[in-house]
A and B are shown apart, each in its own frame.
Chain A
């Protein structure tokens, strides 16, 4: 019936009903269909999960994964252009705000220009970068792009490509980001509060923030391109290093995606082990969030308390997986090794140990007048904005958007445990903070239920060393510590993936910084950055 509705709107669209519904349209009809998909009440695809730029060889294009937060149905929307010299597509950044940065990413990697996009600058690479790396004919010769020793010039202006409706001519219009006499301060890339190498250009009026311009790419490692030359088991190692605080969850997503494509049946024991590890990872990540937020806000002692307890989680994980931060534990078809005999005992101890500590955290930090005043009512994000920007995870849940993948499309052993999805409605920094603090307790609750019931069985199913996925495209997502982490995988039947795209939860998070910081103080920017809790390598990939 979804098919019928779409056929009604766009009769000429090509529809593939295999797996998730895939709709392919001409660029001319693309914008109109996108608009209708979002606006029509029984469709209402209001959440763009991810936008993937594609090079299909003969054509360039994008493939968008859309979801409706009301009806919970999903759809791939695909469009393409055969012009490889000057590829142009209409923008959808005014329909889904998250497309703004995503289209810049596509422009950066594939050179597709989006007509009427307000800000057509490169997102990750330098402005003087030659070539578009994700094109299949990209020349990776290091002599073309040598390691630069001079910083690029920072642009204060950006451009929009407009199409003249009469003659179809494309003209370039200049948009000014920062005026000549504005007091623009660079925060980052080397700054203690940006959690890595993110760069904000902040226009200030006294202490008040007028505008924030996000500059990414200072840790863009080209993981997606690297994956295209690695076999499937090899690609796994790189996911751990995306969002290193959710290493296990990221890898879980890629493993599930590949397993689904292979049609591999996973033993129950593996599902339990993976779920336990995911939750331990979430615990360590949220504890780190608390520590770093406190440190950013100047409460240094709290930082050490958080790290003290985080070390205990790492100990538990280390015993089984052998890694502290990056575990390399999931493999296709299972996990690398069986759990350590101590695991169950230690998790039980830890489940008892942490709640009093959380109470201490609340005593030390949450209850403090200064902390409350600096977080409450600061950086308010509305639910519509969260959906439009795709800011899922604790950030989305803090403004009342029920977006927990564990609840909506359960994977692993999440359908067997009883847990609450933490929802707050205020949407301010304090709500984001509290969501995470409550999720810590919820994770403990999940662990408590799982740890006694790990079924017996194999810890992995045997797979061939060379894995070839059947042709097609696949998407699988998990709830990582910071939001929905998804893997889009396109295969042409080779032992290498044709295209891998990671839907990073942190890219939407940085895109809302400008929206929710405007009018706040510099100190608010730091607090908002702390509560959004982005991890920069995950943004840049």
Chain B
């Protein structure tokens, strides 16, 4: 199986051969940063296009098809427009916080994006508390949303931000607990170790019932974290016009828009990393030749394939379900998901202690 670390090491050696140590590190930082940002933008654009097409097909429509072949560069046109659109200077707002908020949101999602192992050896930040770090940085985003709602001096925005605060704090618990289930199983918080640990079979299969429950809970809570339907209360179009970002225009709004899609990607890729083996090919113990054939498919395809499946599921229920009401949303979390999760964690501990897994 192709290991991307051969490329990264080659670049590293090349740089160090003619640059001093510090300079080489600096250049590497910049390179990595650029690659991440480009990847970030490209993935966001692709996702926007995919979402439009997918929802169009759900809704017996065609979706974008005039801009480029099959409308493929529709989101590029959107980006160009967004970049050249005016950013309105609004009176009676807390200007500093107002301008800060979109950056907080986008930085949080870029940081989370950086933690993801895309393929074998293609991993920017990998250290022993990787998944913990990922949860921590991704929840910075909520601060941005709260700031946006507060600073806008708009009643809709404020209600949206408060909803989002209540929602995120609640669902963070479920995300944390379902990830904890995985950590209990694999015994590590390092993402690379978690992926390596699934070489003989994906966690969803090995951990059977508790893992499946944790997966489902994670998907539900993850969707809630990204503010997507049916949990899109903070921006609920038909209730709060545009929720916390009502007052944002131009690229500021563009940041929120991008971050929404990227957060969806992050949630989906974490789901696939933790439960579906990340970039690890499908291995079935005992079927050696089958496993070898699977190994021929590059790891990056495995990762993006799995992520795409999860993203499709998330889109599917966004376009199917009506929106929840705030009390139902909180009841779902505190009455159902949280107890289920706690019991599930306990089950997982029993399974690990008595070695009941495959």
Contacts and interface: CB of A to CB of B under 8 A. Distances in A.
Touch A–B, Cβ below 8 Å: yes
A301 B156 CA distance: 25
A300 B55 CA distance: 9
Given A374-B325, A523-B326, A298 B236 contact: yes
A301 B58 contact: yes
Contacts of B55: 300-301
A364 B59 CA distance: 12
B326 A207 contact: yes
A365 interface: yes
Contacts, number: 84
Interface in B285-301: none
B327 A368 contact: no
Given A192-B238, A300-B55, A526-B238, A370 B61 contact: no
Interface stretch (B20-28, B213-221, B315-323): B315-323
A308 B326 CA distance: 31
Contacts of B322: 294, 297-299, 302, 365, 368, 370-371, 374
Contacts of A523: 233, 236, 239, 323, 325-326
Contacts of B58: 301
Given A192-B237, A304-B59, A524 B321 contact: no
Contact of B238 (A185, A204, A297, A305): A297
A492 interface: no
Chain A facing B: main interface SS: helix
B241 A192 contact: yes
Interface string B316-358: 0001111111111000000000000000000000000000000
A352 interface: no
Nearest to B318: A300
B210 interface: no
B132 to A, nearest CB: 33
A220 to B, nearest CB: 24
Interface residues of B, number: 29
B125 to A, nearest CB: 36
> Considering residues B159, B233, B322, which has the most beta carbons from chain A within 10 angstroms of its beta carbon?
B322
A370 B323 contact: yes
B323 A304 contact: no
B241 A191 contact: yes
A207 B324 CA distance: 14
B222 interface: no
Interface in A487-541: 521-524, 526
Contacts of B163: 207
> Considering residues A204, A296, A300, A304, which has the most beta carbons from chain B within 10 angstroms of its beta carbon?
A300
Interface residues of A, number: 33
Interface in A134-184: 183
Interface in B47-84: 55, 58-61
Interface string A273-308: 000000000000000000000111111111111001
Nearest to A204: B159
Nearest to A378: B325
B229 interface: yes
Contacts of B156: 185
Contacts of A374: 322, 324-325, 328
B232 interface: yes
A453 interface: no
B320 A301 contact: yes
Contacts of A526: 238-239
A282 B155 CA distance: 38
A8 interface: no
B114 to A, nearest CB: 32
Nearest to A207: B326
A294 B323 CA distance: 10
B230 interface: yes
B59 A300 contact: yes
A373 interface: yes
Contacts of A297: 238, 322-323
B328 A368 contact: no
B319 A301 contact: yes
A298 B155 CA distance: 21
Contacts of B229: 298, 300
> Considering residues A186, A308, A373, which has the most beta carbons from chain B within 10 angstroms of its beta carbon?
A373
Closest 4 CB pairs of A and B: A298-B323, A304-B59, A299-B322, A297-B322
23 contacts: A183-B155, A193-B238, A204-B159, A298-B230, A298-B237, A298-B322, A299-B321, A300-B229, A300-B319, A301-B55, A301-B58, A301-B59, A302-B322, A303-B59, A365-B322, A368-B321, A370-B328, A373-B328, A374-B328, A521-B325, A521-B326, A522-B159, A523-B236
